[in-house]
Structure formats: structure tokens, C-alpha cells
Amino acid sequence: MGKSGLGAQRRERLNALREAALHRPVVARGVSEGFNGRWSRRQWAQASLVATLGMLVAAIVPGFSPSHDAPAPAARMSMALPLPSLPVARLHGQTGDSWQLVRVERGQTLASLFKQFGISAGTLHDVMQQPGAREALTKLKPGAELAFDLPVGDGGKGGELRALRFDRDPTHRVELTINGDAISQKVIERPSDTRTVVLSGKVGRSLFRSARKLGLSPKNINTLTDEIFKYDIDFNDDVGANDRFSVVVEQTWREGELISTGPVLAATFTTGNKLHTGFRFVRNGKAEYFTGDGRPLKKSFIRMPIPYARLTSGFGARRHPVLGRMRMHKGVDYAARPGTPIMAAGDARVVSAGWQGGYGNAVVLDHGRGYTTLYGHMSRIGKIKRGQRIAQGTVIGYVGSTGMSTGPHLHYEFRINGAHRNPLSITMPPPEPLSGVALAQFRQQTSVALTRIRKVENIIYADAGTAEPKQLAMAGTKKNGRKG
């Protein structure tokens, strides 16, 4: 074999070795011998889990970095500003530089206020010697206002009173200027304005609260419920939230402040579709309330001299609880606790007030026109005396068990021309209506009040579509006998 043949064989062998080397499998370091260069499903799942955890850590960890806890503090700057200078008068302590207004509280007196400000008793004595000062300052009412002019030094309690200001009456203010031992007085007139107004509204959740918001005083509200409409409206059961009322009163204003509210001059109250009216009129020197046609709203007599008492014995024959035999019971008995107030059944003159045998402590009242009433077994008699004229509802005594009695109660008798009648069944006499000149004056006076109410009602309820204005017009027609 020649050299060329040997060379060809060598080349073929080298090529075979190179091919074998190129296609030989390579085992990586740290990898199991079973790894053939391709990942299994388990390995892919583990790699994916590791990658996901890495991304979560990368997103969460920066939130706990202290660099994000609080923003960097902002720069602050302080500046010194000069205070305004005091007035010359205050620097020298001149009069008028320190008026201190005090509103009197319950239990306070002028002496206690002077002591509070360190003012001497001698100054108090000098002030009280001034004309009109003792009457105005002796009995200070809670809410009254006093003004003291005191030095600025020592917290305004230097003890040197230079001036005192107080109200002598609703229309006059007094200012006392003190200069050593000399006191000068200046009276300042405070003009007031009295207006006749109509206050109208709905009952809402509370009649008292609604009326107070409108400006009515507690006394005005009591007049509505306990005097004008007492006999016609049950304010516990008959009144609803949408019921309306209108009241005519006189209000006194001073310097934009309401000082006082006068008595109710006229009032209307609508319960459901029924209109009630009441008008104030002075008859024989006494103010009363009347219907539109001049009839008194107050009844001549009240049925029960003790409100909400329990009837224990009626009128007629019965076995007497003390004597033990049949005997005519000429009145009715009401059981009540000892000391319960007893009221006069009507306007009357006191005939007697004292001990009357089996009646014990008793009171007899003469109501005129032959009507008399008796109240027996009282524990004690009220502040009345024989011959005194009293009004309906006056407390004439208190429940007891004096005389022929087995327990605390009131024995009440009603007599007509001396004959005993059953007070529970008898028809009470109607009150005397207005007539003649008094009726003419009443009609003229009430027509003005009714016109005011009608005008306000038309304005307030114009969009409500209610029948109230028509009802008021009918009331005015009935009262005056003509439209208007």
C-alpha cells in the first residue's frame, strides 16, 4: 500500500473521531446524572413558584422602608409682631376705661356683688342713699344687668368704684358717677315700642314648644289651655300635630330686644275642622274671655272642686257611716289624700269659714242668684275670711277628716234657694252674657282682633288650601251680623 492510501485512511479515522467527539453527551456539574438537558414539569413548577415569591418580596419590602414613614418636616419661620399700644385713657386709668357688665344670678345681692369686686361697704351705703336706688337695687331679680366702672389695675378689682349703671324701670336707666364723697346721678331714657301682633302656628310635636318658639310666654300658653279653651278642648286627646292656633298679644320691644308680652287679647284654635275662638274683654273691672257672640267661655260652676278625685258616696239616702242609721246624704263625697287643695266651684262671696258641728272645718260660699255651696271636713281652711269675694278656682281649704268623718275626704253640697240638689246631675246655670253698651263695645273691640287674625291666616295658609280663612270669616259674620 502506498503512502497515499495510508494518508486517506488516517483522514477517515480522524473524521470519525471528530464526529464522535461532537455528538458525545456532556454531564453538567452539580446536576444529577439523570438530567438529560431538558426540565421536567416538577422542575418548571418549582422554578415558577420561586419566581413568583421573588416578585412579591420585591413589591412588599419597599413599603416597610423607614424612608417612607413620614414626610420631611416643612421649614418654619417665627416672626415677632409688636402689640398695639394701649389708649392714653387706659394708661392713666381714667373713668370709662373698664366697664364690667354683670348679669345677676339667683341668690346674688348688691352687697355680694360689691364684695366680689372688693368695693367698700361705705361706698355701698352711699349708693343706696341715692334717690330711687334702694327701690331698684334692694331686690335684684335673676337676669338683671348691672355695670361697674372699675380701674384696670389688679384685674379690675382695685376696689375704687367710679360709676354704677342699673335699670330703674323698663324705660329708664340710671348712671351714678362717684367722685370722692360726691355722687352725681344721670337718668337715661330708654324708649320702648309696643306692638300688637298676631302669632300663628301649628301644634307640632308639642304645643308648649311651638308656642314658645313663636314668642308666647308660659303665662300666655296657660291662658290658652287653662282658661280660654279649658271647657271646649281636651288638650291631652283632642289636639293633633296639624292643628293650628293664632294668638293676638301686645309685645314691648326696646333696642331690638323683646322685653315683655302682654295678656292674650284674642285667640283661635282649630282642632280637626272645628274652629274655637276666644276674646278678652274687661267687664265690671275684671278681664274675662268670651265667645264671638259675647257669651263667657268660663262656666258658672266647675263640677268637681278637687280635680281627678274619686267619688265615694253619692247624693241621696244612705246608712250613715258614723251614726249607723239611714239618713239623707245631702251632698257628694270625694276621697283624696289629706292636704289636697279644695277650689271654689265658682265666683262667690265667703259666707262662713270655720267649725260647723258635724261638718268639721267647713266653708260656705254664696254665688249669687240663690246658689250656694258648702265644703266640709277640711283639715284646715285657706287664706280666706268672711265677706271676702273670691274667684272660681281659688283654694279655700284642704282635704281632711274633721267632724263626723271616718277618713280624709271632701263633703260637697250644692244648694238652690236653700234646697239641696245633686251637683252631679243638676243643670248648671249658664253664665251671664254681655248685653247693651258692653256688648256693643265688645263687638267693636273684637272685630279689630278678628280682622288681624284673618289677615295673618290668609298669608300663612294661602298655599295650604285650608278652610280656616272661611271659618274665620263666618265667625266674624256671626259676631257682627254682617260680612267683613
CB 251 within 8 A of CB 231: no
Residue 419 has pLDDT above 60, yes or no: yes
Same domain, 315 and 417: yes
Domain-ending residue, one of 401, 421, 441: 421
Residue 21 lies in a domain: no
* Nearest one of 262, 304, 243 to 428, comparing CA atoms: 304
Q: Which three cell numbers stand for residue 239?
A: 289636639
Residue 120 lies in a domain: yes
Q: Which three cell numbers stand for residue 120?
A: 367698700
CB 441 within 8 A of CB 247: no
CATH number at residue 256: 3.10.450.350
Residue 91 has pLDDT above 70, yes or no: no
Report how far residue 219's alpha carbon sits from residue 149's, in angstroms, rounded to the nearest whole number. Answer: 37
Report how far residue 373's alpha carbon sits from residue 420's, in angstroms, rounded to the nearest whole number. Answer: 9
Q: How confident is the model at residue 212 (pLDDT cuts 50, 70, 90)?
A: very high
Same domain, 269 and 280: yes
Residue 104 lies in a domain: yes
Report how far residue 160's alpha carbon sits from residue 180's, in angstroms, rounded to the nearest whole number. Answer: 10
Residue 89 lies in a domain: no
What pLDDT, in 10s, does the model give residues 108-130?
Answer: 888 888 888 888 888 888 888 88
Residue 201 lies in a domain: yes
Same domain, 278 and 179: no
Same domain, 163 and 115: yes
Residue 159 lies in a domain: yes
Same domain, 178 and 122: yes
Report how far residue 161's alpha carbon sits from residue 123's, in angstroms, rounded to the nearest whole number. Answer: 8
Domain-ending residue, one of 164, 189, 214: 189
Q: How many CB atoms lie within 10 A of CB 144?
A: 16
pTM for this entry:
0.57
Q: Which three cell numbers stand for residue 204?
A: 307640632
Residue 62 has pLDDT above 80, yes or no: no
Residue 272 lies in a domain: yes
Rounded to an integer, the average pLDDT of 416-438 is 87
Same domain, 201 and 286: yes
Residue 392 has pLDDT above 70, yes or no: yes
Residue 370 has pLDDT above 60, yes or no: yes
Report how far residue 317's alpha carbon sits from residue 329's, in angstroms, rounded to the nearest whole number. Answer: 6
Q: How confident is the model at residue 92 (pLDDT cuts 50, 70, 90)?
A: very low
Residue 96 has pLDDT above 60, yes or no: no
Which residue, chain included where needed, has cell 234657694?
A: 417
Which residue, chain included where needed, has cell 338683671?
A: 144
Range of the domain at 333: 310-421
Residue 239 lies in a domain: yes
**Looking at the 3D structure of the chain, how many domains does it have?**
3
Report how far residue 365's alpha carbon sits from residue 280's, in angstroms, rounded to the nearest whole number. Answer: 27
Domain-ending residue, one of 189, 208, 234: 189
Q: What is the pLDDT of residue 121?
A: 86
CATH number at residue 331: 2.70.70.10
What pLDDT, in 10s, does the model give residues 233-250?
Answer: 878 778 889 999 999 999
